[in-house]
Chain A
């Protein structure tokens, strides 16, 4: 008898019976900080900030991160961006802020703290060679902000022709449940377009499972079916939380569970079409969950919201 259907069915029931409940935190953002940088990503970043500000009914404050005192050219760019947002047909409250600090990240951080901004929206170069790090860094300002900033950050990657289209599909990648993921899911429902879709993509990481197997001295073979079943059980609380939220808000929610090389599968799913990726990253930068979120952000060509908790 082929047991794959049985495994699948048992995995599903186990997810319903799993004790771990996910807490889906719904944010109430009032102020968004838009930090442009004068790069070719600015138009996408501004358009996305306008769209996010509109649907959250939040004030958008524009700034430009630079070194030292902002130059006149930078001030002009900031004002132009604020004016562009204010000129949109929807009534969007906008403002500007200028900070002086030795590094862009410090300026952004100071502005975020001063405004108590609930979300920072900024560009993060996509696959650009950043000095000696090659393409293994999101750029030093973003890395510094990820180290210090507690507010969620929406990182705009490759320039998009239609930034609004990305908000029709919000993807939450998951390997194991961490509280920041519940917070990321809360943001996902805030960001998604009316008539859009939230996708929860849970992947059992084959490599991590093999490591755990070695550590525990388990001889049993880990098949893809067994991993999917284990992941279903692990993701049960999160699946229930997003589906309940989807029913409450009328948003379509699609859940998929897979097993394999987690990062590879996740990125393939992300790049199926324009989307915003919502990922949770704990404040502890040495944790595996942080590393997973960072890697997703680094490799995604679509915008990534990193929610800290």
Chain B
């Protein structure tokens, strides 16, 4: 198989495509990602601008085919968006569900109840913040999950007069491991899972163990870096007394919404796990969960619909248009063939190259554009007869962990670092973050590559 694939790749590489459209669209895509990475514009606006320019360029170069039944090539833009409706549906449904759930007070209630178990011990608190990050991100995805735990860390450390830095850094970094626990634990994971149609239960076999291994690595490295700061003033009795006064019932807005959200979240997870068996898409399950949350949240529909992160939806639509236009220039085919050529057509090598490339790139560029760009690349490899499941797994793992290296590499880092600065006036600079984040990423990266290699060599990847 690898020889055939290498031959196919070589043959494809020989196929000549116009260079200018590739260069122009490649530049538009790169410029869009740079603007997003450095936050020169809001990411939705940056992606929309990129999409606008990419469509103009693609039309000018005559790259878009005229779809059947359409009169203009422009209609191809609708086909690009339509092709990704599954991913968009998953994002819309999940964002409604997690937003309603995260505002229900349920997770805040659980968080305070758990923090009370620490009795104010700073080391236990550090461990519990780590565990809460894993649990909350697993159920709520990265942004809402880490936002709750970061705010908890900020308030509790203030109440106990503890330095918040280690705790906030723990959330920033461990959230990216938590995003690997299930198919629905992160937007990036969801997007790749929807595109690849990997079964929900397979995640428990491939990514869940690595999620915990990589979280353990982060926990110990963070403890090593920040051990001196994980201390608290006062006696253990005083701290225990202070923590005893925390009242989780102050967080309950409406008990009915509380129980309903827990039930809807549970049912949605069951739905994700059984979607393929019952013959529906993940978007159907996510939208069903979102609809149930809207109906049963107790809020007015107007208010509930407003909670949808529409900027994220615009960002995704625009991003898919950029990538769709670039795809038509065949730049991504060249990239796919280049990767296969580089690896000599060996599937394990290809998987490891892609993993290494994404691990490095996701720290600089938002992992979602990176993953979204690589979706058509992997699909291209699949169309050449390349076994791509290991590559999907590599992509999911590396896109999530790769964000650990810089303060802008993942949404959890952005939330943690900016919240710490806003609330407590404590700035975590690039230098400090790079030192901690890169150390963790280096260790996690090595483990992840060895893990993937072992899975490939020992045929441990689930077979569909």
Contact = CB atoms under 8 A, between A and B. Distances in A.
Are A and B associated in one complex? yes
A235 B249 CA distance: 12
Given A6-B147, A10-B154, A255 B254 contact: yes
A12 B149 CA distance: 12
A71 interface: no
B255 A236 contact: no
Could you tell me the dominant secondary structure of chain A's interface residues?
helix
B195 interface: no
Interface in B83-139: 102-103, 105, 108, 111-112
B150 A253 contact: no
Contacts of A17: 112, 155-156, 159, 245-246
Interface in A221-247: 235-237, 239-241, 243-244, 246-247
Contacts of A90: none
A207 interface: no
Given A16-B248, A256-B253, A10 B112 contact: no
A236 B253 CA distance: 11
B246 A10 contact: no
Contact of A240 (B247, B255, B298, B415): B247
B255 A247 contact: yes
B346 to A, nearest CB: 42
A66 B121 CA distance: 67
B152 interface: yes
Contact of A16 (B103, B251, B298): B251
Interface of B: 102-103, 105, 108, 111-112, 144, 147-148, 150-152, 154-156, 159, 245-256, 298, 414-415, 418-419, 422-423
Contacts of B249: 16, 239-241, 243-244, 247
16 contacts: A3-B419, A3-B422, A8-B103, A9-B102, A9-B148, A9-B151, A10-B151, A10-B423, A13-B112, A13-B152, A17-B155, A17-B246, A18-B250, A239-B252, A253-B255, A254-B254
Contacts of A10: 151, 154-155, 423
Given A16-B246, A239-B250, 19 more contacts: A5-B147, A6-B147, A6-B422, A6-B423, A9-B148, A10-B151, A10-B423, A12-B250, A12-B251, A13-B151, A17-B246, A18-B250, A21-B247, A236-B247, A239-B251, A243-B250, A253-B255, A254-B253, A255-B254
B250 A9 contact: no
B418 A15 contact: no
A17 B108 CA distance: 12
Contacts of A252: 254-256
A243 B156 CA distance: 22
Contacts of B298: 254
A190 to B, nearest CB: 20
Interface residues of A, number: 31
Most buried by A among B111, B112, B247: B247
Interface of A: 1, 3, 5-6, 8-10, 12-19, 21, 235-237, 239-241, 243-244, 246-247, 252-256
A48 to B, nearest CB: 27
A252 B260 CA distance: 13
B250 A16 contact: yes
B150 A6 contact: yes
Contacts of A235: 250
Nearest to A3: B422
A13 B108 contact: yes
Contacts of A21: 247
B151 A6 contact: yes
A19 B252 contact: no
Given A6-B150, A19-B245, A1 B155 contact: no
Most buried by A among B150, B152, B248, B252: B252
Contacts of A18: 250
Given A6-B147, A9-B147, A13-B156, A246 B108 contact: no
A257 to B, nearest CB: 8
Contacts of B246: 16-17
Contacts of B108: 9, 12-13, 16
Nearest to B148: A9
Contacts of B248: 16, 240
Nearest to B109: A16
Contacts of A256: 253
Nearest to B419: A6
Contact of B250 (A6, A8, A237, A253): A237
B380 to A, nearest CB: 35
Contacts of A246: 255
A18 B151 CA distance: 15
Most buried by B among A18, A239, A243, A247: A243
Contacts of B103: 8
A20 to B, nearest CB: 10
A1 B251 contact: no
Nearest to B154: A10
Contacts of A3: 418-419, 422
A241 B247 CA distance: 9
